[in-house]
Structure 1
Amino acid sequence: MAILFFFMLLLSFSVAQPIFQPPAGCPTHCGDTEVTYPFGIGKNCSRSEEFDILCNKTTVATSFNRGSLSTVDLTESPFWLSNTENRFMVLGSETSAYVRLTSKSIWDTIFNPPRSRPIWYETGCTSVSLSEQGLVNGSCSGMGCCQTAIPFGMRGYDIRFDFRFHSSNTSSFSPCGYAMLIEKNFKFSTTYLTKTDSFNKDANTFSAKDAKKFSVVFDWVAGNETCKIAKQNRTHYACVSTNSQCVDRATGQGYICNCAPGYHGNPYLLNGCQGPLRHGGLRG
């Protein structure tokens, strides 16, 4: 299960509150984006503050606040980076960059002794095109745009450029380079490199301001315990609907809730799983 957020990292964590049902009248949409419990918009509309959604007309953002565009730490949240839906991408005509990822807190690298520091995974790519004619719209195979996959279960990352690569030979048509973790369906446009005026009104212009509008996908859990442990605390247990099931996440930490086979709906709501399904129809 994954939820898509526009990449506006406004992060703030708090201790999870006891489970309760959202009151009537909670918004169900932010623009065209559907927001379902345990996420919520407005006071008391989510499972806990970690699941609060900030809605600015059509823009959806989470309420967490430990990171920037180049460094993110999700270890105190129920989220991690989806390895199936995201890619690390580098844009530029002479640009090389790397992303270091970890399943632990990135701050442990600074404050913990070397032997107890988290394991980092590092990947990256190099984008080169010595002429504007080499850039191709929609192509991200190394000329103007390159991409690489990320490992499973990562909760923190740090992006760094290789400054041996620069735009001195291509500054006439592509003066800037970019690196970002982004949803894999991102479509490269040559104008992202050839038009860099952040005040330009062209929708295809790429700038640091525009980068905040692109998307990254988070996987998430309802709680950080295993199902076995979560079921022992019914006050905080998230799978409250009858005919719901608890499922341990493959990361080994945390669980989500599904409706039992043959039922449909929202397992996080009382009586949220309806059914059963029979002969291709619904009976509830």
Structure 2
Amino acid sequence: MMARPAAFLCLLLLWPVVSSSTYTNMTMPGCKETCGNTSIPYPFGLDDPKCFRDQAFRLVCNTSFDPPMLSFPEDNIPILDISLLQGEATALIWVAKDCNDSSSNSPPDGVRAQGQEMKDAGVTVQINLTEGFKFSNTRNKFTAIGCNMEAFMSDYVNPNGFQSGCSSVCGNITNVINGSCSGIGCCQTSIPRGLDTFQVKLQSNSYDDSNCSYAFLVKDEWFSFMESDIWDFIGRVPYKFGNQTGTPVVLEWKIGNQTCGDSSLQVNYACRDNTECINSTSGSGYLCHCKNGYHGNPYLPHGCQDIDECKNATHDCEGSCVNTLGSYNCTCPEGTVGDGYNYKVNGTGCTPISKSNKVLHITLGPSTSSSLLSRFEFDDNRSGGTDEGYRCSYRNR
């Protein structure tokens, strides 16, 4: 017996789909997922070459710290977080500190940045990022704190590269305002796009109003100046390793040096199933995102899994929700009509069907043989959810 169209549609809607809850892995099989409190999603990885895409994404886990510290292998800059969606990583850069005492400004053993130096007469800090990473010019600010001090930032690899800086005075300590970093106790300036190396020079001209001066690159939304920073900025920074303090910065990363169009033709194209390619905004290269309706790791085989909108309540159904691969459908329950979608998304919702009979009037006439007017009635007397109960009648008038 041929299945009714309605029954066949139900079979299609109930066809099994892959649930997102069955897949949570963000690394290659057999690879370490975390270092201390930091997750390590592929294309990043540790040790075994199968765990990272290429050398640009190889990281190390320094277990001499408690908890262990994730960092780049060459410069030992600590990594706090990695975002696949944004193509960003949050790292720590050491604070340059110039104080009127004998306190050391040297980073602890094992965490000195490549080429990093500290000098007693004024302070110079030099940072060189691992290839492929850049300091975000939209998320970071060069910042200095102190009274009667000057801080300069420049490209130490290229003498003819960029130079920037700011100065801060206090005059009277009562002039310092919380939340204001415009030259009284605190100053800030932007950095250029594509920056991957810099040096900071910090010079205090006097210690009459503050014991220390500080200069550092910092994630813009993390830092808000407080009057007490003039006396003890280091004391309120939570990121410390040994006797050294670091401020969080945002690094940008990407895959390769080609656009999506060129890279998609290569055998080592990074974007896998159910993904889309996004050209990097920080220069050549690209990122991979899961398509709408999918989530997970777009760099892993089968890493982007279907989102079951019906289970996590992210759907717009007023009626019943039926999950499909990459999407979902809304249906109205028995006894109602409509498309099942909420009015907020321009749907028609589900409206109860009136219990009275529905009569379809079809009037015929006049014909070539007579002026007879005929009427057919289609009467819906269904009950119990079956297709039986339709009645057609013919009336003359």
TM-score (norm 1): 0.69
Q: Deviations over 1:160-181 (max 9, x none)?
A: 34x5x611xxx24413322211
Distance of aligned partners of 1:25 and 1:54 in 2 relative to their CA distance in 1, 3 Å threshold: closer
Query: Larger RCO: Structure 1 or Structure 2 (Cα < 8 Å, ≥ 6 residues apart)?
Result: 1
Structure 1: distance between partners of 2:232 and 2:239: 7
Residues 112-153 of structure 1, C-alpha deviations (whole Å, 9 max, x = no match): xxxxx6xx3333221111344344454423222111222222
RMSD of aligned alpha carbons: 3.4
Bigger Cα displacement from structure 2, 248-257 vs 222-231 = 222-231
Within the candidate set 125, 130, 133, 1:79 is matched to 133
- Give the SS at the match of 1:177: strand
Q: Counterparts of 2:193 and 2:294 in 1: how far apart (Å)?
A: 30
1:13 paired residue number: none
Matched residues in 1 for 2:246 and 2:70: separation?
A: 10
Aligned to 1:223: 256
Most deviating of 246-255 and 46-55 = 46-55
Q: Give the AA of the match of 2:205.
A: H
1:28 Cα offset (Å): 3.4
Aligned equivalent of 1:53, options 56, 59, 72 = 59
Other-structure match for 2:165 = 124
Cα distance between partner residues in 2 of 1:77 and 1:249: 16
Q: Secondary structure at the match of 1:89?
A: strand
| Aligned-residue offset at 1:270 | 0.6
Cα gap change, 1:204 to 1:62, in 2 (>3 Å):
closer
Q: So what's the TM-score if we normalise by structure 2?
A: 0.51
- Structure-2 separation of matches of 1:205 and 1:194: 16
SS for the counterpart of 1:270 is coil
Deviation of the 1:52 alpha carbon: 3.0
Name structure 2 gaps, 5 residues minimum. 1-26, 76-113, 118-124, 316-322, 326-397
Aligned partner of 1:141 among 171, 182, 193: 182
| Distance change >3 Å, CA 142–CA 206, structure 1 → 2 | farther
Shift of 1:232: 3.6
Specify the alignment match of 1:64 in structure 2: 74
Q: CA deviation at 1:29?
A: 5.5
* Structure 1 segments unaligned to the other structure (5+ residues): 1-20, 110-116
Q: Which residue of 2 aligns with 1:3?
A: none
How many angstroms does 1:258 deviate by?
A: 1.2
Aligned residues: 238
1:16-59 per-position Cα deviation (integer Å, ceiling 9, x unaligned):
xxxxx72325123532x333211234544332333233444264
* Partners of 2:239 and 2:303 in 1: CA distance: 43
Q: Shift of the alpha carbon at 1:92? A: 1.0
On the 8 A contact 2:36/2:69 being kept in 1, the answer is yes
Query: Percent identity of the aligned residues?
Result: 32
Secondary structure in 2 aligned to 1:213? Answer: strand
Q: Name the CA distance, whole Å, in 2 between partners of 1:204 and 1:136.
A: 19
CA drift of 1:211 comes to 5.6
Q: Which amino acid aligns with 2:217?
A: L
Contact 1:92 1:145 in 2 (8 A): yes
1:107 aligns with 2:157: yes
Show the counterpart of 1:237. 269
Assess, with a 3 A threshold, how the Cα gap between structure 1 residues 205 and 251 changes in structure 2: closer, same or farther.
closer
